[in-house]
């Protein structure tokens, strides 16, 4: 049984991280275990921005997006010296284990820290991209997808009024999950993702035919990894002559009050992480499989690439 653990968020923020921190903290306290918060990701670990938390420290945060601990990208942590300093700062406080909430990069860093120092680490997937291998869900993906759908709904109104084609660029450098689920649920005509090649000429020919047949307007959702929105929009305008506009959602997708799904899932994952870590488990990530919380080997999670469910690709082709 561990007697003292720490929790931190790292890398890109995502809505629901606060619910996860809260669950880790309150579960640990409930078990009579000390819990520390590390501010600003691995930066805080290296710069000793570490404080002991009580239940009230995580009051009034479950409804907030972002992460009240702050997050960061930290170059120093990518060096062995940096990680040793971080480890020393934890040991000096009697911290025996760590919960890291973050994306692929943060979990990779956590895996290396645990290998090098032997400190027990449990990871939680926190990223809007839903691209952590082994889990069908990552904290924040549901809120982000809902933010995009809201934008699509609004863009459809104006696209319809003007008979326009609208290209919406959404986040997803390496993963098309967000574009895919929001495109499908927003009724987009075309969804471009990095996982699948597309032929812009073919798309444009198809668009012209649809427009001539009476289609009022069209929505194209493009993940940033599949092409820049303005380039896709320019190509469409040039090749089809259709009145085309481009929107880019940017960081709006990262923020906002988390949805019920993100709050509940993050809370469940946080509880599992704290209990597992306290019981002495290490090098695992908790995620979801078919609606159930499952543990995934941390090494496997960071060394495998999650693929986009082919069912989405098929569905998008049929419905759009």
In the region spanning residues 155 to 214, those forming contacts with ligand ADP, defined by CB under 6 A, are none
User: Is the distance from CB of 8 to CB of 41 less than 8 angstroms?
Assistant: yes
283 flagged as catalytic: no
Give dist(CA 313, CA 80) in Å, integer. 41
Q: Of 73, 164, 215, 245, which one interacts with ligand ADP (CB under 6 A)?
A: 73
Q: Report residue 179 CA to chain centroid gap.
A: 13
Residues in the chain: 320
Q: Which is nearer to ligand ADP, 104 or 224 (CB)?
A: 104
By the rule CB under 6 A, 78 interacts with ligand ADP: yes
| Min separation Cβ 51 and ligand ADP, Å | 20
H or E segment at 41? helix 41-46
By the rule CB under 6 A, 123 interacts with ligand ADP: no
User: Is the distance from CB of 122 to CB of 281 less than 8 angstroms?
Assistant: yes
Q: Which is nearer to ligand ADP, 108 or 263 (CB)?
A: 108
Q: Of 42, 133, 286, 288, which one interacts with ligand ADP (CB under 6 A)?
A: 42
By the rule CB under 6 A, 140 interacts with ligand ADP: no
CA dihedral 298, 299, 300, 306 (to 10 degrees): 80
Q: Which is nearer to ligand ADP, 89 or 127 (CB)?
A: 127
Number of amino acids touching ligand ADP (CB under 6 A) = 17
Torsion 145-149-150-154 (CA) sign = positive
* Token pair recorded at residue 187: 């009724």
Angle between helices 260-278 and 141-162 (to 10 degrees): 160
Q: Which stretch binds ligand ADP (CB under 6 A): 108-116, 176-184, 201-209, 289-297?
A: 108-116
Give dist(CA 68, CA 39) in Å, integer. 8
By the rule CB under 6 A, 10 interacts with ligand ADP: yes
Residues that bind ligand ADP (CB under 6 A): 10-12, 42, 73-74, 77-78, 102-106, 108-109, 112, 127
Active site residues: 129
């Amino acid at each position: 049984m561990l007697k003292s653990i720490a929790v931190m968020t790292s890398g890109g923020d995502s809505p629901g991280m606060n619910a996860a921190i809260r669950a880790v903290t309150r579960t640990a306290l409930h078990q009579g275990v000390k819990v520390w918060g590390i501010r600003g990701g691995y930066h805080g670990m290296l710069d000793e921005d570490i404080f002991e938390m009580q239940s009230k420290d995580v009051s009034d945060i479950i409804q907030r997006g972002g992460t009240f601990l702050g997050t960061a990208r930290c170059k120093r942590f990518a060096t062995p010296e940096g990680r040793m300093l971080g480890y020393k700062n934890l040991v000096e406080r009697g911290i025996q284990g760590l919960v890291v909430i973050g994306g692929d990069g943060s979990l990779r860093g956590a895996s290396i820290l645990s290998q090098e120092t032997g400190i027990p680490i449990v990871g939680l997937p926190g990223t809007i991209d839903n691209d952590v291998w082994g889990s069908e869900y990552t904290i924040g993906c549901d809120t982000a997808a809902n933010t995009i759908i809201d934008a699509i709904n609004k863009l459809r109104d104006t696209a319809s009024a003007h008979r326009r084609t609208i290209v919406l660029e959404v986040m997803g450098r390496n993963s098309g999950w967000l574009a895919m689920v929001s495109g499908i649920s927003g009724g987009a005509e075309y969804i471009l993702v990095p996982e699948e090649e597309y032929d812009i000429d073919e798309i444009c020919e198809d668009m012209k035919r649809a427009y001539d047949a009476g289609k009022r307007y069209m929505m194209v959702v493009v993940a940033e990894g599949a092409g820049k929105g303005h380039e896709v929009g320019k190509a469409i305008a040039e090749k089809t002559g259709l009145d085309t506009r481009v929107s880019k959602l940017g960081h709006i997708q990262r923020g906002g009050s988390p949805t019920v799904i993100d709050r509940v899932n993050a809370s469940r994952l946080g509880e599992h992480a704290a209990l597992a870590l306290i019981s002495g488990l290490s090098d695992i990530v908790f995620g979801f499989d078919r609606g159930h919380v499952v543990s995934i080997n941390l090494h496997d999670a960071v060394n495998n690439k999650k693929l986009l469910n082919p069912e989405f690709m098929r569905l998008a082709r049929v419905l759009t």
